[in-house]
Structure 1
Amino acid sequence: MTDDRTPSASSATAPDGFPPSPGGHDPEVLRRRALDALLTARARTTALTDSVDEAELTAQHSPLMSPLVWDLAHIGNQEEQWLLRAVGGREALRPEIDGLYDAFEHPRAARPSLPLLAPAEARTYASDVRGRALDILEAAPLHEGGRPLERAGFAFGMIAQHEQQHDETMLITHQLRSGPVALTAPAPPEPTDAASLPGEVLVPGGPFTMGTSAEPWALDNERPAHRREVAAFHLDTAPVTCGAYRWFMTDGGYTDPRWWAPEGWDMVREHGLEAPLFWHRDGGQWLRRRFGVTEPVPDDEPVLHVSWYEADAYARWAGRRLPTEAEWEKAARHDPATGRSLRYPWGDTDPTPEQANLGQRHLRPARAGAYPAGRAPSGAGQLIGDVWEWTSSDFLPYPGFVAFPYREYSEVFFGPGHKVLRGGSFAVDQVACRGTFRNWDLPVRRQIFSGFRTARDA
């Protein structure tokens, strides 16, 4: 996910732009949920920034990414603007730094040249803001008739999601950095029945409800719920694996323009691409670099760090295609037994470690076929977590879309320039990942934790 979606709170749209939250949400339950989400996000931010020294925090490890210290202070600045100023009505703590941490004002490549807060000052600032924000949360009404930013704890949920999105961004920076190993995590669980799974599932045709009008912390581009008609199609049971992708490479996938969109073929030739990002050949073996560790590429793990162009080329080579965004969501959410659209593939309950690979619990995708408890009624698995999945769809608004609380989160990105990704990755926290959550990025992006699965018409 890009971090360039967070302007100042002064650009918020009119309060009536936010659809009402659903009835039956207990303010105290939502308050506890918001507190837990904020604390979880801050613990992760701390782990990501305390694991490296000051020089690593202030360095720019790639022109595609900000220095880690910029992300740290930006997290605090957005929390100050939205929770302290917009919700709490407090005086600005550090108004002079708003411009430094405006993602739209300064491109990532230029941020190291700015007079940024030093690591110790950035930590103190973020901590001071958080203490005041928790005081505001304790007193905020969160009731149905309240202000839209407070209703159902939306602003607190939005800020928790924002921080987790930056945590994923910082994890991408950790993957790009060339220093010593800073992060470790256990391996994900092994699949138990992968050998018996079909290669694809049939998703029946017909209407389903896409998007949401009920999820209290859903962001504007997920709204409103609306009916979509989807023809029957077949979808890969699991994301495309590294082993399957290597067949594409071995068959000359990167040297044959037949499989590539023109812009993708230009990218291949300009950069001499021959494999996913972070892969390299050592004799007859493909190796990859993963958070400072060099290891053999595992054949049965979902392929990672591929652009939309690479995913699209593989699908063409395989005689298939990428699923549309609507197809992906129907496969992930539609329950034909009830006609309902579920919050998650497994139902309406929040994710557990037995259902999905989320929250940086593991620093890699699980092997294809893992998490049987997380499979959808369609039979498809690993639709939540593991890898972001490219779809064929451009990022466009739903019918009835209303920007809230600011245009720059979604609306300015609508159009054919960005492709939609769905499902989340191992780097995404559950607060920023659900069956309706929409991510988007440029089709050239490879540093993100992106993979894909393919589809075909029934």
Structure 2
Amino acid sequence: MGAGMRAARHYTLALFDALAAAGYDAPERVPRLPIVNPPLWELGHVAWFGEWFVLREASGSHPGEALGNSLLARGDDWFDSNTVPHRARWTLDLPAPGALKTYCREVQDRMLDRLAREQDLDDALYPYRLALAHEDMHGEASLYTLQTLGAAPPAALAPIGQDLLPAAVTPAQSGDGTDAAAGDIAFDGGVFLLGGDQARGFVFDNERRAAPCRVAPFAIAADLVSNADYLEFMRCGGYQNARYWSEAGRAWLMGQERSAPRYWRRDGDGGGWHELRFGRRSALDPAEPVRHVSLHEAEAYCSWAGRRLPLETEWEYAAAAGRPEFRWGRLWEWSASPFLPYEGFGADRYREYSQPWFGTRQVLRGASFATPARLRSPRFRNFFTPGRDDIFSGFRTCAP
């Protein structure tokens, strides 16, 4: 775990340096957008989170539940996301970048020193695993910010967007897939264990409690919807025909004035398309999965195509079956399931991770090319509001 913590912190600092190189090293230089945080605040928050749960042995995420004081005199006032509203993060009198980098390194050195003395027990390692997962997720969010602001990622990440395959997965308890219609994999359905393994390792609270789940027979696309597929939807008037869109989707569409995915741009002659990736023009590859689409766009495509989005239980069942045809891990995939607790849910020490968002977010499954391997799991539940299209999101479809 120590090696993973070092790698994550190195990555965090490299991402900050990339944003700083683009001119976003101070909050006042960062656009006030609801989908980004000032990078300087992000840098301090990631280190503070590890200090809170590991070094200060916090029993929860509320003020007063940690031991002692932050290494920074005003660390709790600056970097506690529960008490510092998003809009206030642009107006804080934060330390200079050099001082925050020193804080990041000091916190990690102390965490690693403490880790070396811990017993190899899940309870003892829980805060370290939580802090590492938190930093990994913020690393991917920083890449969203780089994409949103049109800034280049760290050189070590180039070329970004390569096709990464997921780590090995565990076979399902029942149900074998068979080829159905072209591009689909049919599953007979059955019972499988939904949720994370409770016996060992790290499990997010929203994956508990693991319980048997019955899935009806279904057929799911082996791959994500491609740029070529989505372009056909657009050519058929997909964005103009209101009947393809839900009421919420139509409201979102009117507010966005959108007629293509977020980062698609027409070529100079008006006859084709390219896309912007981290501020640079990139040829639109027809075979690549369409990316940066919202839930509303995914649902509209399904309505046009006579298909549907998979339930998260169907997605997990298919991914856990281990069929090589079922490719996942390049983009987060929208599901048809709202983000709700599993039966028997109980919040962990980081109480604000899941519970406040139940019923207001939609589940995405899988991983993206920017997700560290240690976070890739067929059971991981990501969740965002339906209108988010700045994330590395795509979708696959199911037979109706």
What's 1:280 paired with? 265
Q: Does 1:69 align with 2:40?
A: yes
Change beyond 3 A, Cα 1:60–1:215: farther
Change beyond 3 A, Cα 1:239–1:215: farther
| Whole-angstrom CA distance in 2 between matches of 1:425 and 1:280 | 23
What's 2:171 paired with? none
User: How many percent identity over aligned positions?
Assistant: 37
Match of 1:396 among 329, 340, 349: 340
Change beyond 3 A, Cα 1:189–1:456: closer
What's 1:56 paired with? 24
**What SS class does the counterpart of residue 128 from structure 1 fall into?**
helix
Q: Does 1:293 align with 2:280?
A: yes
Q: Does 1:178 align with 2:121?
A: no
Q: How far did 1:182 drift? A: 5.3
Q: How far did 1:204 drift? A: 1.5
Match of 2:326 among 360, 381, 400: 381
Match of 1:188 among 156, 162, 185: 162
Match of 1:163 among 109, 121, 135: 135
Gaps of 5+ in 1: 1-33, 192-196, 335-375
What's 1:208 paired with? 192
**What SS class does the counterpart of residue 51 from structure 2 fall into?**
helix
| Whole-angstrom CA distance in 2 between matches of 1:189 and 1:74 | 31
Q: How far did 1:272 drift? A: 1.0
**What SS class does the counterpart of residue 389 from structure 2 fall into?**
coil
| Whole-angstrom CA distance in 2 between matches of 1:455 and 1:259 | 17
Q: Deviations over 1:190-235 (max 9, x none)?
A: 99xxxxx941111211111111223511111112211111111111
Q: How far did 1:406 drift? A: 3.1
| Whole-angstrom CA distance in 1 between matches of 2:85 and 2:36 | 9
Q: How far did 1:105 drift? A: 3.1
Change beyond 3 A, Cα 1:291–1:234: same
**What SS class does the counterpart of residue 399 from structure 2 fall into?**
strand
**What SS class does the counterpart of residue 206 from structure 2 fall into?**
helix
What's 1:321 paired with? 308
**What SS class does the counterpart of residue 52 from structure 2 fall into?**
helix
| Whole-angstrom CA distance in 2 between matches of 1:435 and 1:319 | 26
What's 2:379 paired with? 436
| Whole-angstrom CA distance in 2 between matches of 1:83 and 1:129 | 10
Question: What amino acid does structure 2 have at the position aligned with 1:320?
Answer: R
Q: Does 1:221 align with 2:206?
A: yes
What's 2:53 paired with? 82
What's 1:270 paired with? 255
Asked whether the equivalents of residues 209 and 227 of structure 1 are also in contact (C-alpha less than 8 Å), the reply is yes
Change beyond 3 A, Cα 1:182–1:112: same
Change beyond 3 A, Cα 1:230–1:169: same
Q: Deviations over 1:137-180 (max 9, x none)?
A: 11122336xxx3x1xx1211111110010101111111112356
**What SS class does the counterpart of residue 57 from structure 1 fall into?**
coil
| Whole-angstrom CA distance in 2 between matches of 1:72 and 1:190 | 27
| Whole-angstrom CA distance in 2 between matches of 1:218 and 1:456 | 31
| Whole-angstrom CA distance in 2 between matches of 1:287 and 1:104 | 40
**What SS class does the counterpart of residue 106 from structure 1 fall into?**
coil
**What SS class does the counterpart of residue 287 from structure 1 fall into?**
strand
Match of 2:5 among 16, 38, 48: 38
Match of 2:222 among 237, 240, 261: 237
Please tell me the root mean square deviation across aligned C-alpha atoms, in Å: 2.2
| Whole-angstrom CA distance in 1 between matches of 2:228 and 2:286 | 4
| Whole-angstrom CA distance in 2 between matches of 1:188 and 1:181 | 14
Q: How far did 1:92 drift? A: 3.1
| Whole-angstrom CA distance in 2 between matches of 1:89 and 1:109 | 28
Change beyond 3 A, Cα 1:171–1:140: same
Gaps of 5+ in 2: 59-65, 166-180
Task: Give the TM-score of the pair, scaled to structure 1.
Answer: 0.76
What's 1:413 paired with? 357
Q: How far did 1:62 drift? A: 5.4
Asked whether the equivalents of residues 19 and 39 of structure 2 are also in contact (C-alpha less than 8 Å), the reply is no
The alignment of Structure 1 onto Structure 2 pairs a total of residues equal to: 369
Change beyond 3 A, Cα 1:224–1:181: closer
| Whole-angstrom CA distance in 1 between matches of 2:99 and 2:377 | 35
Q: Deviations over 1:227-250 (max 9, x none)?
A: 111111111110111110111111
Question: What amino acid does structure 2 have at the position aligned with 1:273?
Answer: R
Change beyond 3 A, Cα 1:433–1:124: same
Asked whether the equivalents of residues 240 and 453 of structure 1 are also in contact (C-alpha less than 8 Å), the reply is yes
Q: How far did 1:386 drift? A: 0.7
What's 2:399 paired with? 456
**What SS class does the counterpart of residue 330 from structure 2 fall into?**
coil
Asked whether the equivalents of residues 205 and 233 of structure 1 are also in contact (C-alpha less than 8 Å), the reply is yes
Change beyond 3 A, Cα 1:117–1:220: same
Question: What amino acid does structure 1 have at the position aligned with 2:228?
Answer: G
Match of 1:134 among 109, 112, 115: 112
Q: How far did 1:90 drift? A: 6.1
Change beyond 3 A, Cα 1:44–1:268: same
| Whole-angstrom CA distance in 1 between matches of 2:346 and 2:6 | 30
Question: What amino acid does structure 1 have at the position aligned with 2:30?
Answer: Q
Asked whether the equivalents of residues 61 and 176 of structure 1 are also in contact (C-alpha less than 8 Å), the reply is no
Match of 2:368 among 413, 422, 425: 425
